[in-house]
Amino acid sequence: MQEQLAVAQESIVRNLRTMRTLISPLKGEMPIHCGPGAIGRLPQLLLDLKPDRIFIITDQRVFGLHGQNLLQLLAPHFAPEILLLAEGENEKKISNLEFLCNQLFERGLTKSSVIVNFGGGVVLNLGGLSASLVYRGVRFVQVPTTLMAQSDVIVSNKQGINFAGGKNRLGVYNTPVAAVADTHFIRTEPVRQLRAAAVEYCKNAILLGGRHYAEAERFFAAPAETYTDERIEILLANSLEQKFEIARLDPLEKSLGLMLEYGHTVGHALEYLSQGRLLHGEAVYHGMNVAGHLALHLGILPVTELKKQSLLLSRLRGIPPIPKDISVGQILSSVQRDNKKTGKGLAFILMRAIGEVNRHESGVLTPVCDFQLNHVMHEYWDALL
């Protein structure tokens, strides 16, 4: 079995090392050009769209690292307008959405223009929502520069921002015309961000089980955590395969696709409350641990299956703890603003086993009462102390 997995991974990496085009299974069938050097496809992609103007939305860090190279690449054909944002999750807010929309109009955006969102998940979400709103929608291209954005964000039609004390409370479903994911950009990421992106990889392995879980176990079996170019390519390739498999089940992301929110109910609350001290993946790591113990408490997940989840997550070394100034009460209050909450109260994605999501009625959301969550949150909090 291990030999078969090794051969499969080697094939995936060979494919990723050569630029290729994948077709997203989500509604809109967006092409994803990925691999080293994929950014070279961007000029022709834009020329084929025949825009009157190009607008690049990015943040200060990404523009400082890669902006001049991007402008030189586009210079023979375009003179883009650059819209700069500050870096960080805290920037995913309505004032920046208003800033972007104002700037786009003031600088001459038309229905024939194309927006290029160049950066990590915050830039892609903010830029995608801006493009979806101006003139009721103009074309946009996603150019992710982080492992999280390349492996997770672009396989989604969700564009949104944080609002009124909660994550992603304003947004739309809208499909970019294309995505360009060049793995060369990932080399400038700190190890902490790569590790946080790997949390989503582990999450999807837990959701899918089977060979996906075995591949994740094998990937993190090394005694030391290293992110060489080859290991990044394996991680990205496997992550895209996972996301595609789940997306095919629910191209509209309205039913079975909600399983991708595993660990995100508490995770989003922690990410919001930490104000940037916990990265998205780090917050989801804690959210999955809470969800696992909640499923055990409710009699849904056997202890043997929880141990399998815990074993895989424990191999993600160096995940920071929840900041001590965030109380259980604050977490419970923030969870009430979760975007999966229904008229019946809180709803969680919970597991019955590795590879088997708990089903409730016709969906994958399991109702959880405040008392049950309060009990499990205090147990988890005490275990961290």
Q: What is the pLDDT of residues 236-266, one digit of tens each?
A: 989 999 999 988 888 766 778 889 999 999 9
pLDDT digits (tens, 9 = 90+) for 14-60: 555 667 888 888 777 899 999 899 999 999 999 999 999 999 999 99
Same domain? 279 vs 176: no
Tens of pLDDT, residue by residue over 269-324, are 999 999 889 999 999 999 999 999 999 999 999 999 999 999 999 999 889 999 99
Same domain, 145 and 273: no
> Do 84 and 160 share a structural domain?
yes
pLDDT at 293: 96
Report the pLDDT value the prediction gives residue 8, as an integer from 0 to 100: 43
For residue 343, the model assigns a pLDDT of 63
176 and 273 both lie in a single domain: no
Whether residue 172 is found in the same domain as residue 36:
yes
Q: Distance between CA atoms of 302 and 292, rounded to whole angstroms?
A: 10
Domain assignment of residue 322, yes or no:
yes
- Domain co-membership, 264 together with 146: no
pTM metric for this prediction:
0.88
- Does the residue 107 lie in any domain? yes
Q: Please identify, among 187, 210, 245, the residue that sits at the C-terminal boundary of a domain.
A: 187
120 assigned to some structural domain = yes
DSSP 49: H
Alpha helices (H) along 109-161:
121-133, 147-148
- Tell me, yes or no, whether 183 and 86 share the same domain: yes
pLDDT for 106: 98
Q: Which of residues 148, 169, 187 is at a domain's end? A: 187
| CB-side neighbour CA atoms (13 Å) of 382 | 6
Does some domain include residue 14? no
- Domain count within the chain: 2
Judge whether 36 lies within some domain.
Answer: yes
Mean of the per-residue pLDDT values of the chain: 90
Range of the domain at 276: 255-385
Question: What confidence tens digit (pLDDT) does each residue in 123-164 have?
Answer: 999 999 999 999 999 999 999 999 999 998 888 889 999 998
CA distance 364 to 3: 34
* Residue at a domain's end among 132, 167, 187: 187
In this predicted model, which residue has the larger pLDDT, 337 or 16?
A: 337
Q: Give the C-alpha separation, 97 to 153, whole Å.
A: 18
pLDDT of residue 28: 77
Kindly report, residue by residue over 345-380, the tens digit of the pLDDT: 789 999 999 999 999 988 899 999 999 999 999 999
Assess if residue 205 is contained within a domain.
no
Residue 46 lies in a domain: yes
pLDDT level of residue 221 (50, 70, 90 thresholds):
confident
CATH of the domain at 115: 3.40.50.1970
CA–CA dist 22, 33 (Å, integer): 6
Per-residue model confidence (pLDDT) at position 250: 81
Residue 159 maps to a domain: yes
What's the CATH number where 294 sits?
1.20.1090.10
